């Protein structure tokens, strides 16, 4: 990415090559998505984007994505290596609906922008929106790809790397599918979608809705993705143990900070007994993100940004 520095903005800008874009267009596009995904498409009448997931009938997250409204339909930003599978899954549900579903990942360059307001220097349409999961994450910028000779620097700010962005995301405690929880094996509550504006509990039916509603009505959720801090550098994929019991696994890592999917009840029991939590051989502490509701981690002190 070619980016210039401008004293008028402190924004940091990172190209995210591992993120892809689906186009869902046609007169039935909104109706199709409304009946399938976890969030309420009507929110897009008053905000530019929303966070949602497509679940299995058993209520497990198959795909998570950001949905943005454009003139002819919707763009779904998702993991690039999952975009083709998402297109196939949506096509299964399409039936006779007047909808066109296309993996448009090759047609866009996707940037994360945080820490300040970006300034555009591209003489074509830029799709931009605040990240709907958490305002501190910043914004998303989608720029239509052009031949290199024609593509001017679309954003003015301090250039950053994808690793810088993920360190920012980890510090905020925001999980990402495929990195911090396994697709097809994780419920929305476990992936914090209920805490990060990813589920509507009022819109009515969607795939897996009955399971999600039952989990919402429970007093607590036993397992969630939470921030962890190690006494030394952490390793992605490391098992988290309490004594001899495996109670979680490390996901995204930025030095000694990480996100991890953890059995919180087992962690609370271990802490009550004075037992150390270990990721491989590294002692770790669980942290509660500031965006979390009071019952998310009752046994863990607040402190993560």
Q: How many CB atoms lie under 10 A from the CB of residue 182?
A: 15
**CA separation for the pair 270, 249 (Å, rounded):** 16
202-242 confidence digits (pLDDT tens): 998 999 999 999 999 886 788 999 999 999 999 999 999 99
Q: Residue 296: which pLDDT band, with cuts at 50, 70 and 90?
A: low
Q: Residue 4: which pLDDT band, with cuts at 50, 70 and 90?
A: very low
299, with CB counted inside 10 A (0-12, 13-18, 19+), is middle
Tokens of 272: 């009550």
* Model confidence, pTM: 0.89
**CA separation for the pair 231, 168 (Å, rounded):** 19
114-164 confidence digits (pLDDT tens): 987 655 554 455 788 999 999 999 999 888 765 433 333 545 567 889 999
Q: How many CB atoms lie under 10 A from the CB of residue 153?
A: 15
55-106 confidence digits (pLDDT tens): 999 999 999 999 999 989 999 999 999 999 999 999 999 988 999 999 999 9
Q: How many CB atoms lie under 10 A from the CB of residue 107?
A: 13
- Contacting residues for 131 by C-beta, under 8 A, at least 6 apart: 49, 51, 66, 112, 137, 138, 139, 140
**CA separation for the pair 205, 177 (Å, rounded):** 23
Distance of CA 253 to the CA centre of its chain: 15
Domains of the chain plus CATH, in order, are 12-172 (3.30.1360.120), 222-304 (2.40.30)
């Amino acid at each position: 990415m070619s980016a210039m520095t401008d004293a008028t903005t402190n924004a940091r800008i990172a190209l995210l090559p591992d993120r892809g874009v689906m186009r869902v267009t046609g007169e039935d596009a909104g109706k199709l998505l409304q009946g399938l995904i976890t969030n309420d498409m009507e929110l897009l009448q008053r905000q530019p984007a929303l966070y949602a997931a497509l679940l299995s009938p058993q209520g497990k997250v198959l795909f998570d994505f950001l949905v943005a409204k454009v003139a002819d339909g919707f763009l779904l930003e998702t993991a690039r290596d999952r975009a083709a599978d998402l297109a196939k899954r949506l096509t299964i549900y399409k039936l006779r609906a007047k909808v066109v579903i296309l993996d448009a990942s090759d047609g866009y360059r996707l940037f994360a922008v945080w820490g300040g307001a970006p300034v555009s220097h591209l003489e074509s349409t830029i799709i931009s929106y605040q990240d709907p999961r958490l305002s501190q994450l910043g914004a998303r910028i989608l720029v239509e790809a052009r031949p290199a000779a024609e593509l001017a620097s679309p954003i003015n700010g301090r250039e950053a790397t994808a690793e810088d962005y993920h360190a920012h995301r980890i510090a905020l405690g925001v999980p990402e599918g495929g990195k911090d929880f396994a697709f097809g094996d994780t419920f929305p509550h476990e992936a914090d979608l209920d805490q990060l504006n990813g589920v509507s509990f009022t819109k009515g039916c969607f795939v897996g809705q009955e399971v999600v509603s039952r989990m919402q009505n429970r007093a607590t959720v036993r397992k969630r993705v939470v921030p962890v801090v190690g006494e030394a550098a952490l390793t992605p994929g490391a098992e988290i143990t309490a004594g001899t019991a495996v109670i979680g696994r490390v996901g995204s890592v930025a030095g000694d900070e990480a996100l991890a999917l953890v059995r919180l009840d087992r962690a609370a029991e271990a802490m009550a007994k004075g037992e150390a939590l270990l990721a491989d051989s590294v002692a770790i502490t669980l942290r509660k993100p500031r965006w979390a509701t009071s019952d998310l981690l009752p046994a863990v002190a607040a402190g993560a940004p």
